[in-house]
Amino acid sequence: MRAKSTIVSIATGLALAASAQAQGVYPPAKYTPDAVAPSTPKTVIRGSISYANPPILHVKDGATVLVETLSHGGLTNDPVKFFGEAGIPAKDVLPDVVAMSKAGLSSGAGFGGHYLTGPIYIEGAEPGDMLEVRILKVTPRTYYGVNNVGPGGVAADVLKERTAKVIRFDVKRGVQLLAPGVEPVMRPFMGIMAVAPPPDVGKVSSGPPGAFGGNMDFRRLTAGSTLYLPVFNKGALFVTGDSHAGQGDGEISGNANESSMAPLLQFIVHKGEGKAMQYPWAEDASNYYVLGMDEDLGKAASVAAVQTLHWLHDHKGLSLEDAYHLSSIGVDFAISEAVDKNLTIYATIPKAYFKTKTPYWTKAK
């Protein structure tokens, strides 16, 4: 049986999603999923992404899946004690978190610490295709999360000790209760969404993002947005995790408000459209987003710029010269995250710039 607070959070998440629809953020969606991917020791992988991981679920092209995910924030050997010291009663600690702590999953040397649910096999997806992931909603499973600060991150030398802060939410008002009188808005999203990388790449850490997606920490991927990923393996083998209640561009401490979430996702396969993709891209009702990555932040900016020029040329029919003009006078470039080895810069391209409008989420699969 789920904890009472979790039920309240899910109900509030549904209300927030309904409010978003009413505001025209995205069209009404079917909220009864075709399948559920639970977060158990048998369905969760820690710290790595690989084509060799057996699927936990097979779904059809166009299916909606409710994915239960677990945050690594506070998932210690004794999460009940950890959260209890912050005033969270034992009944409000997810049973899945307790079960995972007892399972003792290890990522192994050189791999990440994230807990990822999956892989999910999407029927019909093959190498060279593009996987469209529609984020229908992202529902908090708890009313709290964890943020760590200290040595490391972008401001590496400001603090001498690393500490963890449990940050509660007021889910009805959609804010994070950071400190008295300080309430940053909640922006629930999945820090990691990925397909399995190519077989010749093998098993990769969940830490650095790449062409397969992964730990992009791209805060724009909230409910109502869409992520596009190139497919490298049969079935795509999608995984997700590293869920966040809120994050600023950059994620400068090395983590966000790490909190367990249950995203409702729809998977749509586009045959042959992933062959030329070098990196994921995304969109929502208002903007297109083009991503670029590199271990050097300056080079990541250059990669994002080049990707944007070619995206505008390929998707909007601009000459490369006009694409460069537009990118300089009207496209914003920002840091998605600056802490995960392969750093990510993204371009925001407003859809309002284009007289020819492309319908968004209006055609049923």
- Backbone phi and psi for residue 211, each to the nearest 5 degrees, phi listed first: -60, -25
Which CATH number is 147's domain given?
2.60.120.580
Please report the pLDDT score of residue 109 as a whole number.
81
Per-residue pLDDT at 15 exceeds 70: no
Percentage, residues of the chain above pLDDT 70: 90
Please report the pLDDT score of residue 25 as a whole number.
32
Does residue 195 sit in the same domain as residue 296?
no
Contact 291, 279 (CB under 8 A): yes
| Mean pLDDT across 81-104 | 95
Please report the pLDDT score of residue 294 as a whole number.
96
Which CATH number is 317's domain given?
3.10.28.20
Does residue 346 sit in the same domain as residue 247?
no
Going by pLDDT thresholds of 50, 70 and 90, the confidence category of residue 17 is very low
Residue that is last in its domain, among 246, 270, 294:
270
Please report the pLDDT score of residue 83 as a whole number.
96
Residue 276 in any domain: the answer is no
Residue 275 in any domain: the answer is no
Residue that is last in its domain, among 217, 249, 270:
270
CA-based nearest residue to 132, from 26, 271, 267, 7: 267
Going by pLDDT thresholds of 50, 70 and 90, the confidence category of residue 156 is confident
Of 152 and 141, the structure prediction assigns the larger pLDDT to 141
Does residue 307 sit in the same domain as residue 327?
yes
Per-residue pLDDT at 158 exceeds 50: yes
Please report the pLDDT score of residue 290 as a whole number.
98
Per-residue pLDDT at 5 exceeds 70: no
Does residue 152 sit in the same domain as residue 227?
yes
Residue 118 in any domain: the answer is yes
Percentage, residues of the chain above pLDDT 90: 82
Going by pLDDT thresholds of 50, 70 and 90, the confidence category of residue 14 is very low
Please report the pLDDT score of residue 246 as a whole number.
95
Does residue 119 sit in the same domain as residue 78?
yes
Does residue 255 sit in the same domain as residue 307?
no
Does residue 21 sit in the same domain as residue 134?
yes
Please report the pLDDT score of residue 110 as a whole number.
84
Does residue 111 sit in the same domain as residue 62?
yes
Please report the pLDDT score of residue 106 as a whole number.
85
Within 13 Å, how many C-alpha atoms sit on residue 173's CB side? 9
- Helix (H) / strand (E) element for 23: namely none
Residue 359 in any domain: the answer is no
Residue 108 in any domain: the answer is yes
CA-based nearest residue to 140, from 100, 182, 186: 186
Judged by average pLDDT, the poorest of 13-27, 311-325, 347-361 is: 13-27
Please report the pLDDT score of residue 117 as a whole number.
98
pLDDT, tens digit, 9 for 90 and up, residues 58-80: 999 999 999 999 999 999 899 99
Does residue 329 sit in the same domain as residue 183?
no
Contact 167, 253 (CB under 8 A): no
pLDDT, tens digit, 9 for 90 and up, residues 19-50: 333 333 333 445 689 999 999 999 999 999 99
| Mean pLDDT across 130-142 | 96
Token representation of residue 249: 């561009």
Average predicted confidence (pLDDT) for the chain = 90
Supply the pTM of this predicted model. Answer: 0.90
Per-residue pLDDT at 13 exceeds 70: no
CA-based nearest residue to 221, from 333, 130, 141, 132: 132
Residue 363 in any domain: the answer is no
Please report the pLDDT score of residue 142 as a whole number.
95
Does residue 154 sit in the same domain as residue 202?
yes
Residue that is last in its domain, among 213, 244, 270:
270
pLDDT, tens digit, 9 for 90 and up, residues 278-293: 999 999 999 999 999 9
CA-based nearest residue to 213, from 189, 197, 233: 197
Please report the pLDDT score of residue 31 as a whole number.
64
Split into its structural domains, the chain has a count of 2
Residue 361 in any domain: the answer is no
Does residue 96 sit in the same domain as residue 140?
yes
- The boundaries of the domain holding residue 326 are 281-353
Does residue 262 sit in the same domain as residue 286?
no
Residue 43 in any domain: the answer is yes
